[in-house]
Structure 1
Amino acid sequence: MYHPTGPANLPHDVWTLIAGRTAAQSVRDLCSLRMSCTAARNAGEEDIVYQFASIPIWDQRWWSMSPMRQAGRNFLARCMQSGNLEVLFRSAVSDLFLGGSRLAGMETMQVGAAQDHSAAQYTVSMMLMLRDDFESKNKGLQTFHVLEAAGALTICKLVFHDVIQGTWTHMRRLPMVNAENLVCSSHACPSRGNMGAIYRSQRYGRGWDLNDGDGGAAHIPCVHCRADYELILFVHLFD
């Protein structure tokens, strides 16, 4: 005889899958699901649920800063421990530019980049190209070229900008572009050294913003000059 199985009797793996998919849509819905029954509460404690939890950046910021949000900070810590890439990315950005350990921030950012988080790859490429040594610049340029070829630069900049937006009243470490930070070193390159002027023309001449793709540098044949343009843009994302 067929006996229907109630939701509470579903296997733990099925509940974990349900909890994981719910967390990927809304943490608030996950909280409601976990209160529905013991099986859902137990499934919600699995690492994979925290790993894929989707937390709006404003919630992450509020939970981490408000002294009244200990539960939120505990949730973020568990997400970090479980390898949640979005939480790792925000934490790395905070360490790199707001405080904490810059070395730890770069290491965390590289962990996200190694797991194909495109905004982390973008940030790593910019930070490497801002260094003075050739090896770092070359590594950063290679990553930049991959993101550019994939058409991923615009979304990377939008994600990065969303994370830093409105948080810089306490910023301690602004990135800067100096002459020694520029990537293009060819004296025969016709566009070398002109990226600042092109950026100002695009940004202030016609009201360019992040949603306009590459902002006007895509037609420049020199990949090193395009990288220099993106470095200038990266620095001005903090304005």
Structure 2
Amino acid sequence: MTIDCCSNIAFIPNDIWEAITIKVATDSIRSLCSLRMSCKAAHDAGEADIVHRSVSIPPPHATPWWWCLNPEAKRFFDRCMAAGNPELLFREALRELFIRRNENVGIQMLNSASRRGHAAAKYAMSMMLMLRTDYNVEKQKGLELYRELDAAGLLAGSNARCFSILTVSWPGEVQMPRLEEQHTVCASPTCSTRGHMPLLYDYRRRAAERNSVHAFGRAAHIPCIQCRADYDLQAFVNLP
């Protein structure tokens, strides 16, 4: 139900309403719903695809359980997915990659989400491209994406986002790819840390199992960006 008040809001252009609604949608679904109930102009602006594409989707652990049973909620999320919401594209891409094993479809969805600025999708995209051994161009593209995330300081958060989605949403169902020796990114014969990342990862993992302070730090202190990529490949394929 919407309420139209006697005010000047009727004279506000629709593109201004869309801009306001997009701003509110990036805060939360609840905020978007509250705005859309305020007046007919806000309700109509909320129907735009760009609003559904921009809406902030809560993480799995913060999503009310009844949303998956509510027909109206399901229609809303279907509309967001059809509009290209990057968070929903990212989650569906992970399903395609690691549950349904549809690599081509999953990569396309990851690419769409990463182009829309989704950092975790860009991280997963970089990992999947660096795991490709048959296309050197794609492997280099994956490394470039990884460099961009590293330069922006987004690596740790993106890794955690993948971990959260994979382990919380589908426990026991995820099938991660195997990491073989030919997947190694660093190929410099002069690199002093080349080939040491599996040992470092195992050391960090065992330290984490003991709740030791040595579990922290990952490979951020390693000067070679390619070796850091090798470390993150180890962490990525062992996410579940």
Bucket of the pairwise TM-score, normalised by the shorter protein? 0.7 to 0.9
Change (3 A) 1:103 1:73: farther
Whether 1:163 and 2:156 are equivalent positions in the alignment is: no
1:7 to partner: Cα distance: 5.7
**1:95 Cα offset (Å):** 1.6
Residues 63, 73 of structure 1: 8 Å contact kept: no
Shift of 1:170: 5.1
Structure 1 residue 166 displacement after superposition = 1.5
Unpaired runs of 5+ residues, structure 1, are none
> Percent of pairs identical after alignment?
39
The two structures have a TM-score, normalised by structure 1, of 0.82
Contact 1:98-1:170 at 8 Å conserved across structures: no
The answer to which of 176-185 and 124-133 deviates more is 176-185
| Paired residue total | 229
- Residue of structure 1 equivalent to 2:85: 84
Unaligned runs of 5+ in 2: none
CA gap 1:95/1:62 in 2 versus in 1, 3 angstroms? farther
Question: 1:118, CA displacement in angstroms?
Answer: 2.0
Using the alignment, how far apart are the partners of 1:60 and 1:128 within structure 2?
31
CA contact (8 A) 2:166 2:174 kept: no
Q: Residue 71 of structure 2 aligns to which amino acid in structure 1?
A: Q
**TM-score after normalising by structure 2:** 0.82
Shift of 1:45: 0.7
Q: Tell me if the contact between 1:191 and 1:225 (Cα under 8 Å) persists in the aligned partners.
A: yes
Amino acid at match of 1:193: G
Describe the shift of the 1:199–1:92 C-alpha distance in structure 2 as closer, same or farther (beyond 3 A).
same
Q: Which residue of 2 aligns with 1:121?
A: 122
| 2:84 aligned with 1:73 | no
SS in 1 for 2:168: coil
Distance 1:53 1:7, change over 3 A: farther
Which residue of structure 1 lines up, in the alignment, with residue 111 of structure 2?
110
CA contact (8 A) 1:90 1:163 kept: yes
Partners of 2:219 and 2:41 lie apart in 1 by 54
